[in-house]
A and B are shown apart, each in its own frame.
Chain A
Amino acid sequence: MIKIKTKEETSIPGKCFALGDEGRLTGSGHNDVTQNSENEQYARHLAAIVKFSDDAIFSKSLDGIIKSWNKGGEKMFGYTASQAVGKNISLIIPDRFITEEQSILQRICNNEIIEHFETIRRKKNGQEFYVSLTVSPLKNSEGKITGVSKIVRDITSGKRAEAQLINSNKELVFQNSEKEKRAAELIIANKELVFQNSEKEKRAAELIVANKELVFQNGEKEKRAGELVISNEVLVFQNGEKEKRAAEVIVANKELAFQNLEKEKRAAELIIANKELAFQNDEKEKRAIELEIVNRELESFSYSVSHDLRAPLRAINGFTQVLIEEYIDQFNEDAKGLLDVVVANSKKMGQLIDNLLEFSRVGKKPVTLANINIRALVDAVINELKATEPERVFIISINPLENINGDRNMLKQVWINLISNAFKYTSKKQNAVIEIGSYRENDQCIYYVKDNGAGFDMQYYDKMFGVFQRLHSNNDFEGTGVGLAIILKIITKHNGKVWAEGRVDEGACFYISLPVIN
């Protein structure tokens, strides 16, 4: 059964046509004439349908030679009917589909009808394209298959759309899968972002606190900076000062280094000098010890002198006087005179011994300081001395006398010696004129006793203060030569000085200076 699709489906049951060139019906199963005329008309209709169909409709022989070729075939394959007819069907079949064509032919021969067989054919320009084949057998009047007809429809656009859909689907599936993966990743990423956001908010809160702290610190630092600016100015000034000072110090250091060198030299000299002094000290200590021993010996000596020399002297004097008193009538005047000389000399010797002892005693006594009214002391001494020479007349002027700190007994001895000397050495003058006074010189108080007596020769001044040294003979003025030596010793013990001025027969002036001690 051949189905020919038109706008109105037409079927011709029980009849079979074989289409020849130009749609002419070349075979028929019927023989009657009436029948023939109707059949020819019918065949012409069919030929027109074939001729103008858009599908390619052609026929071929069983050995594959193209027998007819319509306009649709020309449009579809690019071969005109004259170019296609007589050629082998392989003209439009790609080589790889040749076997397929043979299997189709086999199936036709087995009376199968092949409809909508989709395969690929080739155009004249070589382009391959999808086609749908409907193949049916062509039979001769005996019903023997002599060829096949083929209706070929171009399904390229449909195939293309299908392929595109498949591809699109695949793409969509792939894209979906990708989007799901991406969505899952995005979910994870979102969670991470949420967490990070939370962290960032915390951090932001901390940063706000930190910012406030920094703002406060900035404020403090600005204040401090302000203070530091002031401090810096001060420091700059101080630095300047210090640099000046440093320069001065460098100069001073050089000076000190020089001085150090000098001092080291001096120190070396001092070490030598010290050794020398140490040696001298040792020597002095030895000497001091020796002096101590000598002093003790002297003490012992003076004790012996006072005791042992005076005793025989006393005997000489005593027994001589006993002779004079008890045996006076047995001596003549000359003998009596000689006895008087013995008595006088023994007395004199007694005085010498007494003065010598006094001198040595003064040296040993310590000075006991007290404030002394010198005027009262001098008055008392003058009165005592005057009493020993009541017959003499003295003209004594006493100027103001300053009080002084000193040893009362020692200073009394000094004034006794000074005034008694004045009395003694004025004894040959008609009028004894004596002046006593004091004056200040710096921290020294200077006392003086001036007389108009015998005076002395300044040539022998150096001897005047020595023990037993005299500038006058005993014949002129009696004395032992100890008085001035005792004065010198006492005043020296008071850290004072003694000196004198004199001219022979014009008088003398004796000075003593004593330090004013508060």
Chain B
Amino acid sequence: MPNSDIQILLVEDNKSDAMLTIRALKKHNLGNNIVHLIDGAEALDFIFAKGKYECRDINAKPKVIFLDLKMPKVSGLEVLSIIKSDERTKLIPVVMMTSSREEKDVIESHKLGVNSYVVKPVDFGNFSQTIADLGFYWLVVNNPPQH
């Protein structure tokens, strides 16, 4: 797997949501080099080059991580906490994607240093537009610090 130009790391346990997200991104020409992982544990292995990703270059960081909040094994909040408390990964932008507008989740995510918190709309039109806006912003508009 070519590591050097990973654009988006999508961590989503719901296959439908993952498909719709990837479709929305591709529709807006933002779908190149998307890595989709299905739970938090795998996400941490990938990010920190552990387990089955131990051969991966830890320095090949995604430009943005789309992280689902509610996942089995390791939840989105736990993954966020680990990424943001590690010097090697804390600068990676993380967008929390969730179905819920639960206030405590919003607050907790921001305390942990989330870069965006997005409620996934039920209506696909809205959903698609929201995903496209996020991709465009973090991949094109935003200026990350140079490594």
Shortest CB distance A494–B (Å): 19
Contact of A312 with B16 at beta-carbon distance under 8 Å, contacts A303-B102, A322-B23, A361-B103 already known: yes
> Smallest CB-CB separation from A350: which chain B residue?
B122
Of B16, B69, B101, B103, the residue contacting A318 (CB under 8 A) is: B16
Contact of A347 with B103 at beta-carbon distance under 8 Å, contacts A307-B70, A311-B16 already known: no
A320 CA to B123 CA in the complex, in Å?
Answer: 10
B102→A315 contact, CB < 8 A: no
Of B20, B98, B99, B122, the residue contacting A347 (CB under 8 A) is: B122
Shortest CB distance A393–B (Å): 29
A contact patch SS: helix
- Is B5 positioned at the interface, with any CB of A under 8 Å from its CB? no
Residues of A within 8 A of B100 (CB): 303, 306-307, 310, 357
- Is B14 positioned at the interface, with any CB of A under 8 Å from its CB? yes
8 Å CB interface, A324-369 against B:
343, 346-347, 349-350, 353, 357, 361, 365
- Is B45 positioned at the interface, with any CB of A under 8 Å from its CB? no
A307 CA to B125 CA in the complex, in Å?
Answer: 19
A307→B124 contact, CB < 8 A: no
A307 CA to B17 CA in the complex, in Å?
Answer: 12
Contact of A315 with B20 at beta-carbon distance under 8 Å, contacts A310-B120, A350-B122 already known: yes
Residues of A within 8 A of B23 (CB): 322
Most A-side CB within 10 Å, residue of B16, B69, B122: B122
- Is A317 positioned at the interface, with any CB of B under 8 Å from its CB? yes
Residues of A within 8 A of B102 (CB): 303, 306
Contact of A307 with B122 at beta-carbon distance under 8 Å, contacts A318-B20, A319-B16 already known: no
A314→B101 contact, CB < 8 A: no
A317 CA to B20 CA in the complex, in Å?
Answer: 10
Of A310, A320, A321, A343, the residue contacting B99 (CB under 8 A) is: A310
- Is B127 positioned at the interface, with any CB of A under 8 Å from its CB? yes
8 Å CB interface, A411-466 against B:
none
A319 CA to B20 CA in the complex, in Å?
Answer: 8
B98→A307 contact, CB < 8 A: yes
Contact of A321 with B17 at beta-carbon distance under 8 Å, contacts A306-B99, A361-B103 already known: no
B127→A318 contact, CB < 8 A: yes
A477 CA to B65 CA in the complex, in Å?
Answer: 42
A350→B123 contact, CB < 8 A: yes
- Is A313 positioned at the interface, with any CB of B under 8 Å from its CB? yes
Residues of B within 8 A of A361 (CB): 103
A311 CA to B20 CA in the complex, in Å?
Answer: 11
Contact of A321 with B103 at beta-carbon distance under 8 Å, contacts A307-B70, A307-B98 already known: no
B20→A310 contact, CB < 8 A: no
Residues of A within 8 A of B122 (CB): 310, 313-314, 317, 346-347, 349-350, 353
8 Å CB interface, B16-62 against A:
16-17, 20, 23
B99→A314 contact, CB < 8 A: yes
A353 CA to B101 CA in the complex, in Å?
Answer: 11
Most A-side CB within 10 Å, residue of B17, B103, B120, B123: B123
B120→A314 contact, CB < 8 A: yes
> Smallest CB-CB separation from B20: which chain A residue?
A318
B102-130 interface code vs A (CB 8 A; 1 in, 0 out): 11000000000000000011111101100
Shortest CB distance B106–A (Å): 12
A350 CA to B122 CA in the complex, in Å?
Answer: 6
Residues of B within 8 A of A322 (CB): 20, 23, 124
B101→A315 contact, CB < 8 A: no
A322 CA to B20 CA in the complex, in Å?
Answer: 9
Residues of B within 8 A of A346 (CB): 122-123
A346 CA to B100 CA in the complex, in Å?
Answer: 17
> Smallest CB-CB separation from A307: which chain B residue?
B99
Of B69, B70, B103, B124, the residue contacting A314 (CB under 8 A) is: B124
A317 CA to B120 CA in the complex, in Å?
Answer: 12
Most B-side CB within 10 Å, residue of A321, A349, A357: A321
Shortest CB distance A329–B (Å): 18
A347 CA to B128 CA in the complex, in Å?
Answer: 14
Residues of A within 8 A of B125 (CB): 321
A315→B16 contact, CB < 8 A: yes
A343 CA to B121 CA in the complex, in Å?
Answer: 13
> Smallest CB-CB separation from B120: which chain A residue?
A314
A192 CA to B14 CA in the complex, in Å?
Answer: 142
A307 CA to B99 CA in the complex, in Å?
Answer: 5
Residues of A within 8 A of B98 (CB): 307
A314 CA to B98 CA in the complex, in Å?
Answer: 12
Residues of B within 8 A of A303 (CB): 100, 102
A346 CA to B103 CA in the complex, in Å?
Answer: 24
A318 CA to B27 CA in the complex, in Å?
Answer: 14
Shortest CB distance A223–B (Å): 88
Residues of B within 8 A of A318 (CB): 16, 20, 124, 127-128
A352-393 interface code vs B (CB 8 A; 1 in, 0 out): 010001000100010000000000000000000000000000
8 Å CB interface, A259-287 against B:
none
A357 CA to B119 CA in the complex, in Å?
Answer: 13
Residues of A within 8 A of B69 (CB): 307
B16→A317 contact, CB < 8 A: no
Q: List 18 A-B contacts (CB under 8 A).
A: A303-B100, A303-B102, A306-B101, A306-B102, A310-B120, A311-B99, A312-B16, A314-B16, A315-B16, A317-B122, A318-B16, A319-B124, A320-B124, A322-B20, A322-B23, A322-B124, A343-B123, A350-B122
Residues of B within 8 A of A (CB): 14, 16-17, 20, 23, 69-70, 98-103, 120-125, 127-128
CB-based closest 6 A-B pairs: A350-B122, A315-B16, A318-B124, A321-B124, A306-B100, A310-B99
